[in-house]
Amino acid sequence: MVRTALHSSSLRRSLLLVALSPAACLAEGPDDAVLDTDSDGEDEAPAAWHALVRNDAWQPHAPSDDPVPEHRPASVDCEGGWYPESGGIEIDTGECNYLSLQQPLLSALEPGDPLRLRLWWQTLASVDPAEGHLAIYVDDQLLWEEHVPIPGEAAARDLNFESPLAAPAGATLTLHLHNHGYNTWHFHELYVFSPEPCPSCDANASSPGLPPEPASG
């Protein structure tokens, strides 16, 4: 964490402008970051929510790189079954019988880091009872998953949880989905709350507001 001594009120105003500018890779919103002052009169670079993925950076996995190859069907047909939509990506399982997408993790993770995940799905239809499986992996480690009964009602997830794993920036993040039936799923965003700067994070935050700063202690 970078500390800068403030020698004058003019310098203080300049530093605040720099800290709150878009180039600082902070999510927008007045409650997203707090500038703390210690007993010595020094200001700290504020912690902030940083995007862990860019929704324009997803690429299909090669079969040999799939972290859960036992889930993969013998024939994968997903061309055109996923596409950008509403600030995230939408998956149409009528056109995609199995989804496994990857991209480099934008920011490092440590166990216990606060995470925020948002996604949703439309009404899930199937003639026979089945189950959908949504999961996120970092390299071969499971970050999060949910098994969703099908048929079922439309639902959304706006989740705050702690990272169960450590990973460096650039590790392979995988979005995994398989289900039975013609359904629509939407992955929206994944963020981490961190005091470290993140020059490579996605500056185009899709949400109108992020959750408040996690409570300390």
Q: Which CATH class is domain 51-194?
A: mainly beta
* Whole-angstrom distance, CA of residue 90 vs CA of residue 69: 22
> What are the pLDDT digits (tens) for 108-152?
999 999 999 999 999 888 777 888 999 999 999 999 999 999 888
* Spans of all domains in the chain: 3-46, 51-194
Q: pTM for the whole thing?
A: 0.75
> What are the pLDDT digits (tens) for 10-66?
433 343 333 334 333 333 333 444 434 344 545 555 788 999 999 999 999 999 999
Helix (H) or strand (E) segment spanning residue 189: strand 184-194
Q: What is the pLDDT of residue 209?
A: 58
Question: Do the beta carbons of residue 21 and residue 64 sit within 8 Å?
Answer: no
> What are the pLDDT digits (tens) for 67-80?
999 999 999 999 88
